[in-house]
Amino acid sequence: MLNKKITGFVISAILLLIYACNNNYDDKQAGKQSVSTEQELRNSIKKFPDSLLLLKSLIEHYRNNGNYDSAINLTDNALQNDDKSYVMSWSE
């Protein structure tokens, strides 16, 4: 009798875990496509062109995804456009 209760509990727990881990839902609004991280950062930089944090985030995004040429080019452009050496303080 105790084994039946334990077995029932274990089966119920397993079924609950399977049900809870099911990602079979759509949390996106209809007709709205998801925007990539890169595009979100680019759009934000267009809105806030003086934000070094956004620029740094885009550079790190490129680096983390193996797009080293884009990361280096963006860093070089930022250094050329930086008149107060803010970019140099990133490594500190």
pLDDT of residue 24 exceeding 60: no
Query: What letter does residue 33 receive in the DSSP assignment?
Result: P
Model confidence band, residue 5 (pLDDT cutoffs 50, 70, 90): confident
| Cβ-contact 58, 45 below 8 angstroms | yes
Per the model's pLDDT, the better-predicted residue between 29 and 61 turns out to be 61
Q: Stretch 74-87: mean pLDDT, rounded?
A: 74
Q: Is the pTM of this model over 0.95?
A: no
Place of tokens 């119920």: 12
Question: Cα–Cα distance between 32 and 40 in angstroms, integer?
Answer: 14
User: For the chain, which residues make up each domain, given as ranges?
Assistant: 38-86
Structure-model confidence comparison of residues 59 and 16, the more confident one: 59
Integer Cα distance of 86 and 42 in angstroms: 20
CA-closest candidate to residue 45, choices 36, 33, 58:
58
What tokens does 60 get? 């790190």
